[in-house]
């Protein structure tokens, strides 16, 4: 399949019965402002661009935004509900209304704002089913980097020396180029930023 637009990515995921089964399971929770994000979307795109079947996913990241209940125990309860529906899926559920604390930054406004503040632009992606079961893509930094298979920090990370260390550690740990050999990394400039 030729991937050039957001519509192409939505079609790619819509055609994947495994991904749609996961999205449908997550939608049954009726979470506020929810999405399945990060590697779930990025890996599918990179697998397609590399001509792979499906590479393994260490987890399926379900995020939502609920300021009224930021108890971490609620996330664990939701993971158990999802595991009862699809027990072989490595579910991870996070309420983005509390996750800003991890990066010591201002609270997120909503799920899309949280996704925009993920470490890499190519991972700052999410998909969800609306109440009519239509699939939508969240791509606050666009799709250019994920389609070009380039790993680059999001502006939040690129403009913070503290967060840049987190980004650089993730790059060392993830080693995406060993799975997808066409993946490249943004180059660090003399000013310590990535372009």
Query: Which residues, including other chains, have CB under 8 Å from residue 1's CB and lie 6 or more apart?
Result: 8, 11, 12, 15, 48
The answer to whether 166 and 173 are in contact (CB under 8 A) is: no
Does the predicted TM-score (pTM) go above 0.75?
Answer: yes
Determine the pLDDT at residue 1.
Answer: 83
Q: Which two tokens stand for residue 191?
A: 């000013």
Query: Which domains, and CATH codes, for the chain?
Result: 6-151 (3.30.460.10)
Q: Kindly report the backbone phi and psi dihedral angles of residue 94, in degrees, each rounded to the nearest multiple of 5, phi listed first.
A: -140, 135
* Sign of the alpha-carbon torsion through 171, 125, 5, 14: positive
- pLDDT in single tens digits along all 195 residues of the chain: 899 999 999 999 999 999 999 999 999 999 999 999 999 999 999 999 999 999 999 999 999 999 999 999 999 999 999 999 999 999 999 999 999 887 778 899 999 999 999 999 999 999 999 999 999 999 999 999 999 999 999 999 999 988 999 999 999 999 999 999 999 999 988 888 898
- Check: CB of residue 3 under 8 Å from CB of residue 49: yes
Per-residue pLDDT at 102: 74
């Amino acid at each position: 399949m030729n991937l050039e637009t957001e519509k192409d990515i939505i079609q790619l995921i819509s055609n994947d019965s495994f991904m749609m089964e996961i999205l449908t399971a997550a939608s049954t929770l009726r979470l506020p402002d929810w999405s399945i994000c990060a590697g779930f979307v990025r890996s599918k795109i990179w697998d397609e661009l590399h001509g792979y079947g499906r590479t393994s996913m260490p987890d399926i990241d379900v995020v939502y935004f609920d300021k009224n209940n930021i108890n971490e125990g609620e996330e664990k309860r939701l993971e158990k509900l999802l595991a009862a529906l699809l027990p072989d899926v490595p579910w991870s559920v996070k309420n983005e209304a509390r996750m800003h604390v991890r990066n010591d930054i201002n609270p997120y406004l909503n799920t899309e704002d949280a996704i925009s503040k993920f470490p890499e632009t190519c991972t700052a992606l999410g998909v969800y089913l609306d109440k009519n079961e239509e699939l939508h893509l969240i791509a606050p930094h666009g799709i250019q980097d994920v389609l070009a298979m380039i790993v680059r920090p999001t502006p939040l990370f690129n403009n913070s020396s503290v967060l840049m260390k987190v980004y650089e550690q993730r790059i060392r740990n993830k080693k995406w180029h060993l799975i997808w050999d066409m993946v490249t990394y943004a180059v660090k400039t003399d000013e310590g930023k990535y372009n």
